[in-house]
Amino acid sequence: MQSKWYPKKGRVIFHVDMNSFYASVEAAFDPSLKGKPLAIAGNPEERRGIIVTSSYEARKYGVKTTMPLGEARRLCPELIVMGPTFERYRTASKEMFKILADVTPLVQPVSIDEGYMDITDCADQGSPPEIAERIQQRINEELDLPCSIGIAPNKFLAKMASDMKKPMGITILRKRDLETKLWPLPIEEMYGVGSKTAEKLRKIGIETIGGLAEHPVLELKGVLGINGERLKNRANGMDDRLVDPDAVHEFKSIGTSTTLPQDTTNDTEVQTVIRRLSNKVEGRMKNKKVLARNVQLTIRYHDRKTVTRSRQLKEFIHSSEDLFQVAMQLFDDHWNQQPVRLLGVTASDLAEKSEVSQQLDLFNFEQYASKEKLYKTIDDLTEKYGKNPFRDLSNPTNPQVNTSFQKDFLDDFKK
C-alpha cells in the first residue's frame, strides 16, 4: 500500500506554508483578534506604512500585501492595524520548524513562514497525506496557527500545490495532474513569474501556465534568456533541486533599505540614513562572520525611478565606517539632485572571515591597525553593556521590518 506513495525512483516533497503568518501569530497571542479584519503594517503611523500581511477576514474586503495603508482603511473601515512584533514571529517560526524537524532532518527553511521537507524515507510514519495531516494538526494545536501543505514529487510542484487551498489546505499535485490542475492557471500565478515576466510572456501570446509549457523554447530564451527554458521546464513539472537543510547558509549578499518619512534632498538627512543602514549591514556581517568586497547603493527617487550602483573594492571590508564611506561616494557620484524617497545599502562578494587573509601593504597597514583598536574598544563596551552603545540611540526599541526577509536565524530551530 505504501509503495504507491513512495516510489523506488523519485522523491516525496512537502512545501509547508503558514497562512497569513504575522496576523495569525497576533491572533494566537490575543484571541480577541480572531475572526476580525486584521492587518500588520510596516509602519502604521507614517506615510511609508504598507500592509505586510492581513487576516483572511481582511482579505475579503480586498486588503492585500504591499497595499498602502490608507487604501486598505478605505476598503475596510473596521480594519484593525498593528505594527509588527518581530520577536514574536521569530519565536513562532522556530517552534514551527521544530515540529517539521520531528518528522525528518531534511527540512529547508526558505523564509520565516515556509519551508520544504523531503519525506521520501518516512514510509514507516504513514502515507504522505497522513504525515501532512499530523503536521498540520500539531502546528494548529500546539501553536494555534494555520498552515497549508503541498505534496508533490519536487519542490516547484509542492510550492504550487500549497497555494491551491488556503487556509488549512492539503493538496497533492502529481505530474499526471498538470493538465487539469496546473496548466489552466493564469501565467502570473506561476511561482517564479513576476509581473514584468508575465507582461513579456503575454506579449508573445502566453496567457496560462499550459501555454508556457507548450511554447517553443527558442522563443522563450529569446525573450527571457536562460530563464525562459527554466520556466518552461518548471511548467512541465521538471525540477531536480534537492531539499537542502544547509541552503540557509548560502547567501550572496547582505543588505537593507528604508523608505524615508519625507522625500528629501538634504545631505545631512541622507548621510544619517546611509550611516544607519551601514551599521545594520555591519551587524549582520559580523553575525555571519563574513567580509565584503563589493558595496551597492540603491536610490529610489520621488517619482519611483530606482537606480542601483555598486563598487568593487581591492580588499575586503567589514566595518560600518568603510561601508558608509563607499556608499556615500556612490551617492555623491550618482545622485541626480532630485528628491530621494528610498535608500538601500548592500554588501556583496562575501567571504567567510576565517578564509580571508588580509593583505596589508605599507600604505594601509597603519590605517587598518588604528581602526582595529577602535573596533576592539567598541566590542569590549558591547560585551560589558550587552549591546553596542554607539548604535541605534535614536530608536533602540523599535526595530523595523524590511521588505526582504532576513534569513539570519532560520537554523535556530536546530539548537
| H or E segment to which residue 138 belongs | helix 128-143
395 has pLDDT over 60? no
Element at 18 (helix H, strand E): strand 13-18
Question: Would you state the pLDDT for residue 246?
Answer: 79
Distance CA 16, CA 117 (A): 8
Residue 402 DSSP symbol: P
Residue 390 φ/ψ region, left for φ over 0, alpha for ψ in the -120 to 50 degree band, beta for the rest: alpha
Annotated catalytic, 321? no
Residues annotated as binding site for Mg(2+)?
A: 17, 113
Query: CA–CA separation, 20 vs 123, rounded Å?
Result: 31
Q: What is the pLDDT of residues 222-233, one digit of tens each?
A: 999 888 999 999
Number of alpha carbons in the 13 Å side-chain half-sphere of residue 218: 0
Is the pLDDT confidence value at 407 over 80?
no
First to last CA, the chain: 36
37 preceded by a cis bond (ω within 30 of 0): no
Give the chain's mean pLDDT: 85
| pLDDT of 48 higher than 80 | no
pLDDT in tens, 169-205: 999 999 999 999 999 999 999 998 988 899 999 999 9
pLDDT at position 3 is 62
- Walk me through the domains of the chain, giving residue ranges and CATH numbers: 1-173 (3.30.70.270), 178-235 (1.10.150.20), 251-414 (3.30.1490.100)
List Cβ neighbours of 298 (8 Å cut-off, separation of 6 or more). Answer: 257, 306, 307, 308, 342, 343, 344, 345, 346
User: Lowest mean pLDDT: which of 25-29, 40-44, 213-217, 404-408?
Assistant: 404-408
Checking if the pLDDT of 2 tops 70, the result is no
CB atoms within 10 A of CB 19: 19
Catalytic hit among 95, 114, 142, 315: 114
